[in-house]
């Protein structure tokens, strides 16, 4: 087995992973759709969500996807300095997004609207929290990538890892667009 076969298998394996994640998110969206009106007499999404805040959150995450794409482009151009700048900006935007999500969760919980209050809130926290957990994992992955890039020169292995990270990060953006639309806008 040559190195190209191994790379092809790892890319295929990563796509399989993304598709299993897609199935998991589809199940979470289906659960949310079933429970969205199960408020147990409590508040609905319309009562709880601040659309301006969530729109800002969305624009920050979409911007991080753009900077991740610029980082990958810089890697292909063998521009390590720009690559690091774009990745650090992606990291900063991702941390900002995650901080905003945690702020929203904290506010809801402090107001007595935790996942224990209703089926709707349980489904909301599970769906949005799972996305946040993926963002946190992506940020950890990005930090490890940055350490590798600082330690080593750009090479095919690092570019391959960066490509996989970029796929993962763009996937999370797509999931968030569905969350934004189905959870927040349709509330």
Q: Which of the residue ranges 11-15, 29-33, 112-116 would you say has the lowest mean pLDDT?
A: 11-15
Query: pLDDT at residue 11 above 90?
Result: no
Residue 175 has pLDDT above 90, yes or no: yes
Fold of 3-185: 1.20.120
Cα separation, 114 vs 181, whole angstroms: 22
37-79 tens-digit pLDDT:
999 999 999 999 999 999 999 999 999 999 999 999 999 999 9
In the chain, where the domains are located: 3-185
Q: By the 8 A CB rule, do 88 and 37 touch? A: no
Residue 24 has pLDDT above 80, yes or no: yes
User: Is the per-residue pLDDT at 183 higher than 60?
Assistant: yes
- Please check whether residue 44 is in contact with residue 110, taking contact to mean a CB–CB distance below 8 angstroms: no
Q: Is residue 3 scored above 60 in pLDDT?
A: no
1 pLDDT higher than 80: no
Q: pTM, whole model, 2 decimals?
A: 0.93
pLDDT at position 6, please?
Answer: 53
Average predicted confidence (pLDDT) for the chain: 94
More confidently predicted of 187 and 175: 175
Neighbours of 90 (CB within 10 A): 27
Q: How confident is the model at residue 148 (pLDDT cuts 50, 70, 90)?
A: very high
Closest residue by Cα to residue 63 from 38, 32, 37, 97? 97
């Amino acid at each position: 087995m040559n190195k190209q076969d191994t790379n092809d298998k790892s890319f295929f394996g990563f796509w399989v992973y993304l598709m299993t994640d897609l199935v998991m998110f589809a199940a979470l969206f289906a659960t949310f759709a079933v429970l969205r009106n199960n408020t147990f007499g409590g508040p609905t999404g319309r009562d709880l969500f601040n659309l301006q805040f969530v729109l800002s959150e969305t624009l920050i995450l979409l911007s991080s996807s753009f900077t991740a794409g610029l980082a990958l482009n810089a890697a292909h151009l063998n521009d390590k300095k720009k690559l690091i700048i774009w990745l650090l900006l992606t990291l900063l935007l991702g941390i900002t997004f995650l901080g905003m999500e945690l702020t929203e969760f904290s506010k809801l919980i402090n107001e007595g609207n935790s996942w224990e209050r209703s089926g709707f809130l349980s489904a909301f926290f599970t769906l949005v929290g799972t996305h946040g957990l993926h963002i946190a994992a992506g940020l950890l992955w990005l930090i490890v990538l940055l350490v590798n890039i600082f330690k080593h020169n750009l090479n095919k292995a690092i570019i391959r890892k960066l490509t996989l990270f970029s796929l993962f990060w763009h996937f999370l953006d797509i999931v968030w667009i569905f969350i934004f639309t189905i959870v927040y806008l349709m509330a």
